[in-house]
Amino acid sequence: MKTHMLIALLLLTGSAQAQEDREKQYLEGAGMGYARPAERNHFPGPMHVLELADQLKLTGEQRAATQKLMETHKAQARGIGAELVAAERELELLFRGGNVDEATLARAARTTAALEGEYRLAHLETHRRMRGLLSEEQVKRYDELRGHSSAKQERHRH
């Protein structure tokens, strides 16, 4: 019996930690895989572009534009992330109160879902904009450096 209680406690602790980690990532504007379709299909992310700036031979103008895009994006993502965390907490409070009506639940769930969609859109849009700042050669080099080369992608399709 004690073993079962210990396992349950560990699972709850792990779940709470995972929730805290997820909230922290939203508040920091982290990517969390939301832009994976863009990244895999030749639409680089500004954070990685800046990390690879020398290998990509970014011009001074490109570095400045990428840095600005990154800063603007992070501010936007953090703002949406904070709204999303607050909406998730409100959803939690609805159930904690024990009396949830259908209309209130529907509104809260839709608000949370819409904010998550906005968060993802912010990440995808940033990748779309980033591509416009690079040459085709730089995008190709980025893909190679990040392991997204077309030969590798072809192997994964078969």
Categorize the per-residue pLDDT at 154 as very low, low, confident or very high, splitting at 50, 70 and 90: very low
pTM of the model: 0.83
Which of 42, 57, 60 is CA-nearest to residue 130?
A: 42
State how far the Cα of 59 lies from the Cα of 134, in Å rounded to an integer: 10
Side chain identity at residue 46, one-letter code? P
Considering the domain 36-148, what is its CATH architecture?
Up-down Bundle (1.20)
Categorize the per-residue pLDDT at 7 as very low, low, confident or very high, splitting at 50, 70 and 90: low
